[in-house]
Structure 1
Amino acid sequence: MAPLLTVDIPQEYGYVLLTATGSLFLSTWHAFRVSPFRKAAGVNYPTQYATDEQIAATADANKKKALYLFNCAQRAHYNFMENHTPFLVSLFVAGLKFPVAASVMGALWGVGRVLYATGYTRKDKESGKGRLMGAWASLLQIGLMGMAAKVGYDFVTA
């Protein structure tokens, strides 16, 4: 049996914990943010999205736009949820060895996610292209994953 591995958690890991906590508030912001779009579109719970048929059958251009923007807001929220767990795992693991860098990358990831969501629901952008304003956050997430992999590799080879 291999000897136990001791992990010293640096004091700066607190920044990682604060960044992770901030992402929890960001998740809540996303959830609350969908509500006004839902109300404007007139889409009742538990319906998750306006269907293509529902949008096509709507003659009123303002209502059509409201349905479209509701779908964009909902998709931005789902995209956040799809990425939040991998982000948190990567942040927590990468932060063991690179706490300040991981925290800075995590905070910038959060900024990117806000830009993604707000850009996705811009009335002046079609086909959700506004989301590209914050799409760069994915690069930070991949960077965190790489840092987490490095931490894992270092543990195995220690």
Structure 2
Amino acid sequence: MTSIVVPKEYGYRKQAGLGYPKAYADSSDMSAADADRKKKMYLFNCAKRAEDNYHENHASVMAAMLISGVQYPLTTTGLSVVWMAGRLVYALGYTRTDKSKGEGRLAGSFFWFAQLGLFGLTAWTGIKMVL
């Protein structure tokens, strides 16, 4: 069994002081906050965008993994591991405090190559099944 330990300092929403159901810290929240809280709200927004970007890609990549894994299980596994590592680096980079405007996320952009590879492999698997 695997367990995940979340550190006590984790929780961008709590640190930013934003309650549910608020999805993002908007301009009215930012204008009413002091400098320290603005930075925490900014980091919350970055973490939320990284999560939303993940969800935008997740369903199509999972479908590609299922389809391409039928014919090419090892290649699919390799591309999937690269994709997951890229998404992790992307999310961690997005919330880096030493980079402005979320530029840290660019370090994880290599996930796109794995994602395109999975889509190509899925298309090739479909072509081979039809022919």
TM-score, with structure 1 as normaliser: 0.75
**Deviations 1:81-139 (CA, angstroms, capped at 9, x unpaired):** 11110110111111111110110110111111110111000011110111111111012
Q: Any residues of structure 2 matched to 1:1-150 within 5 Å, and which?
A: 36-58=11-33, 60-150=34-124
The runs of at least 4 aligned residues of structure 1 exceeding 4 Å deviation read: none
Gaps (5+ residues) in structure 1? 1-24, 30-34
Q: 1:55: how far off?
A: 1.4
Which structure has more relative contact order (CA 8 Å, sep 6+)? It is 1
Distance 1:126 1:53 in 2: 21
Q: Which amino acid aligns with 1:54?
A: D
Aligned equivalents of 1:43, 1:109: Cα separation in 2: 31
Q: Percent identity?
A: 40
Alignment RMSD, CA only? 1.8
Aligned residue identity for 1:92: L
1:32 match: none
Larger CA Rg, structure 1 vs 2: 1
Q: TM-score, normalised by structure 2?
A: 0.89
Q: Aligned letter for 2:80?
A: G
